[in-house]
Structure 1
């Protein structure tokens, strides 16, 4: 058995959005007791991360690391069609994940106590994003 749904997310620009509850809600309603939940973001300048959900400093530190590692406006990049954050956003999405696969057990999404699922927007301005959620037994 399989269940598939699209989750629509609007970002406010660069940063993380916790989508754990949205995904857990879909798993709960899928009717699947044991299986896998696969998430895929349909964009080349956003990603999905499994990250600590207790201390927001973790995500701020991740952003600081990526800002230093892949700076906007770097002369290294020639692809700037949509601005100085264009190519850095693509690199950031490649360095993180465009998909995640998580276990489903006893009809529930399995996450560690301190884990959360986040959409990571890499562009500096707001965007509308889609995450395809596929749950299979």
Structure 2
């Protein structure tokens, strides 16, 4: 059995959007009891993150680390067609991931106690991001 659902995620600019509940709904709608859920982001300037969901300081610290690691407007980068955050957003995406695989158990995405699924927007302006949740059982 295969089931896919497309989500549209609106970001407010650089930062994290929790899509855990949307992923859980897509798994439930699939009717699968056991299997594998793949979450795929169709963009090159945002990424997916399986991260601590209890303490928002974890995500703040990740953003602080990446801001230091990949600076907006760094003269190293030639590609700046859409502004000083353009190439840094691409680098951040390459260093992270655009797909997650999560086991399905008892009709739910089998996440750990403190795990959440996030779209991590790397651009400074708001964007609409397309995410496909696929379930195979």
Sort the TM-score into its range (normalised by shorter chain). Answer: over 0.9
CA RMSD between the two structures: 0.5
Deviations 1:55-106 (A, max 9, x none): 0000000000000000000011000000000000000011111000000011
Which runs of 5 or more structure 2 residues have no equivalent in the other structure? none
Pairing of 1:1-137 with structure 2 (within 5 A): 1-137=1-137
Deviations 1:110-135 (A, max 9, x none): 00000000000000000010001110
With the length of structure 1 as denominator, give the TM-score of the two structures. Answer: 0.99
Q: Distance in 1 between matches of 2:52 and 2:28?
A: 22
Q: Partner of 1:90: helix, strand, or coil?
A: helix
Point out 4+ residue stretches in structure 1 off by more than 3 angstroms.
none
Q: Distance in 2 between matches of 1:29 and 1:126?
A: 29
Q: Partner of 2:94: helix, strand, or coil?
A: helix
Shift of 1:50: 0.3
